[in-house]
Structure 1
Amino acid sequence: MAAESSIPLIPLSTMIHMVNIKLTSANYLLWHAQIEPLLITQGFLLHLDGSSPCPSREITTPAGTKSTNPDFATWYFRDQLIRLFLVSTLTEESMAVVIVCTSFRDVWTSLTRACSHASKARELSLKDDLLSVKRGDLSVSESICCE
């Protein structure tokens, strides 16, 4: 943990300009390859993997009264900050997927679920296209084996 604290944090305004790809239905893997390392290096791993759950809004003081939980306020501010960053990297098409999401984790999992299916379908389509390519009377795999 000590090593993490020595890494300089990048301001949100700079982070936004570091991502040069806006998420579309066709570029999830490229977008993800830029976003995930940036979030990890900025200390958002616990939010990213879901291991930083939202603390309760209120706590009971030793006197037995309810009080605002300062951990909740800190967590919520941080969560909304990275949610704002993430949404700023989306196209309108992608934003439609997460419009009802209220936390970073909700946005992240919704995008992962929606886009990974599209990426898998695109992968299978490209494999089918590649398998149907012919070189003369031979398929690509037959052509490669024969050379």
Structure 2
Amino acid sequence: MKKILLFIFTVLLLTACRDDYYEGDERIIIEGKVLYNNLPLTNAEVRVYPVYNATPNSGVISEINYNNPENNANYYSDNGNTISKTYTNNSGIISLSIPRNINTSVYAIKISKGYDSKVYGYISHYNTINYYVNLGTLNY
């Protein structure tokens, strides 16, 4: 009986010491810069949202204008499902990572300063290379 308990204890000890592996724990690195009147926009809140019904047809990331139907503004809705949040630094730089969403591979970025907000889209397979996206310079 002691040998069986010792064997079970050893097996439990060895399995408890293994590294955890999370399938689907892939992250996408997002970097870029935000300017306002050609100056860095500092301390602006940056949120990334999954977008479930958008089908972008290019890798261009630009402001989503709700008055222009060509921008597919109806695809984006701020449903409160923020998957990552950060702030721009003193140089207006954005640097964050987001977990890959199981249900979508399309994301929108909302930048807010005070009571003003702008939404930019879309991060998708068109502009993600090796889990990295460079937004370039976004004009706020």
Where relative contact order (Cα < 8 A, 6+ residues apart) is larger, the structure is: 2
| TM-score bucket of the superposed structures, by smaller chain | under 0.3
Which one has the bigger helix percentage? 1
Q: TM-score, with normalisation over the residues of structure 1? A: 0.25
Q: TM-score, with normalisation over the residues of structure 2? A: 0.26
Which one has the bigger strand percentage? 2
